[in-house]
Chains A and B, each alone.
Chain A
């Protein structure tokens, strides 16, 4: 078997009281693969995804990126290539453009600059004009905010995206836009990988090639 792009080995997460919230969960995502994580709510799907992104400390197991364990100091570099997106989109003060420019102020993306033409091109494919860039972030609808958060991530050309129920609580139109954006991003370069967390089985089948199932903190399939 070729080296997985992103791998979680024996991941364990423990609650303060000592109970295991995730126990010995392993998952390997190959380059180009689209994996859905499914299971009832409370099964630990989001916890697993956050653990894979290195955003929460794990009490057991390790995360491997291109076959190598991610070291503490390498975490920002890893996260720049494997971007996690929150269920509820996070937008910052300022305009849509300010939000899109934000990542380029970080050390890890130093040397790269924001590409307005590219951003406008992506917006056009969603049927939005360049004036959308000037829209204040606080006036964005939930769907628009999720689109902005998504564009903010994919403009960095990540090799993997970790999406935590990105279309939950969005209207049908927004759901379609997000699904289309995810599909286009994945198809653009052949070895991009996707981990999709969701509880809509139908959608999971649409968005992923295979699924792994969690129940009560353990992988059952």
Chain B
């Protein structure tokens, strides 16, 4: 790492925080009535980031595999729950499906990255394990929630057609494959789109961070390429996983479509 990196002092951070006054001035000038919300948002930003900073500081200092793995588990759990919270329709077991798929896909891909690609020693080094998993989770979560949302929406909208196919002798897979395919496709579109434009329209957050930290641009690019492929594979695995689990939950082994299991969120 080069010496160009500037360590921020408390007063420098406070100076940046004072920029919130720009928002406050606009809100008051135009009578937007957003002062309260601005205050809450600003406070949350500082408190939440300070907390995670303290937690990471401790985790980085202790460097215990148990603590790193526990934190990784909590991160995956929170992501799995967050994915379901974004969906409009639910079914019993959706939480388990989501947490299970996000766990399996993100841990597998992050594990491969730590052990075989980046070759971190020890593999649980929090400096690598935590940010890698975090980036993978943030994107997989998106794919899973889009995939789930699309699956329940497609199956609800096409309920009669799915049922009519079953009535003609279709297996549950034959009746469901069209909605299943569309759901997986929907879950994978965002990452493919961002792979298309990365570096041209957007400079990803991680690369920006590395550049700020003084990493050589070509080095930062190498990391970013690795990350993009990690994210793409984890998103694909997570989306396929959750959509197939949902399919198995919503179609019985007797090739019945259990449409009454899908419930619109109140």
- A is bound by B: yes
Interface, chain A (partner B; CB < 8 A): 16, 53-57, 72-73, 75-77, 79-80, 83-86, 88, 90, 92, 102-103, 106-109, 149, 152-153, 156
Contact A80 B254 (CB under 8 A): no
Closest residue of A by beta carbon distance from B173:
A107
Query: In whole Å, how far is A121's beta carbon from the nearest beta carbon of chain B?
Result: 21
Given known A-B contacts A88-B160, A92-B161, A56 and B256 have beta carbons under 8 A apart: yes
8 A-B contact pairs sorted by A residue (CB < 8 Å)? A57-B254, A72-B255, A77-B169, A79-B168, A80-B169, A83-B167, A92-B164, A106-B174
Closest residue of B by beta carbon distance from A93:
B161
Contact B170 A55 (CB under 8 A): no
Q: Which residues of A are found within 8 Å of B171, using beta-carbon distances?
A: 76, 106-108
Closest residue of A by beta carbon distance from B257:
A55
Known: A76-B170, A106-B169. 14 other contacts (CB 8 A): A53-B167, A54-B254, A54-B256, A55-B163, A55-B256, A57-B252, A57-B254, A72-B253, A75-B256, A86-B160, A86-B167, A92-B164, A106-B168, A108-B170
Contact B169 A109 (CB under 8 A): yes
Q: Which residues of A are found within 8 Å of B174, using beta-carbon distances?
A: 106-107
Query: Complex: how many Å from CA A103 to CA B256?
Result: 17
Query: Complex: how many Å from CA A205 to CA B165?
Result: 30
Given known A-B contacts A57-B258, A86-B160, A106-B174, A153 and B253 have beta carbons under 8 A apart: no
Question: Which residue of B167, B169, B255, B258 contacts A85 across the interface (Cβ within 8 Å)?
Answer: B167
Interface, chain B (partner A; CB < 8 A): 160-161, 163-171, 174, 252-258, 260
Given known A-B contacts A75-B255, A92-B161, A55 and B166 have beta carbons under 8 A apart: yes
Contact A103 B255 (CB under 8 A): no
Query: Complex: how many Å from CA A53 to CA B169?
Result: 10
Q: Which residues of A are found within 8 Å of B165, using beta-carbon distances?
A: 106
Given known A-B contacts A55-B163, A86-B163, A107-B174, A153 and B254 have beta carbons under 8 A apart: no
Contact A90 B160 (CB under 8 A): yes
Query: Complex: how many Å from CA A88 to CA B257?
Result: 18
Question: Which residue of A72, A76, A86 contacts B169 across the interface (Cβ within 8 Å)?
Answer: A76
Q: Which residues of A are found within 8 Å of B256, using beta-carbon distances?
A: 54-57, 75
Query: In whole Å, how far is A81's beta carbon from the nearest beta carbon of chain B?
Result: 8
Question: Which residue of A90, A102, A103, A109 contacts B163 across the interface (Cβ within 8 Å)?
Answer: A90
Given known A-B contacts A55-B256, A57-B258, A90-B160, A103 and B169 have beta carbons under 8 A apart: yes
Query: Complex: how many Å from CA A57 to CA B167?
Result: 14
Query: Complex: how many Å from CA A56 to CA B261?
Result: 12
Q: Which residues of A are found within 8 Å of B160, using beta-carbon distances?
A: 86, 88, 90
Query: In whole Å, how far is B266's beta carbon from the nearest beta carbon of chain A?
Result: 15
Q: Which residues of A are found within 8 Å of B260, using beta-carbon distances?
A: 16
Query: In whole Å, how far is A170's beta carbon from the nearest beta carbon of chain B?
Result: 17
Closest residue of A by beta carbon distance from B254:
A72
Query: Complex: how many Å from CA A153 to CA B168?
Result: 7
Interface centre among B163, B164, B253 (most CB of A within 10 A): B164
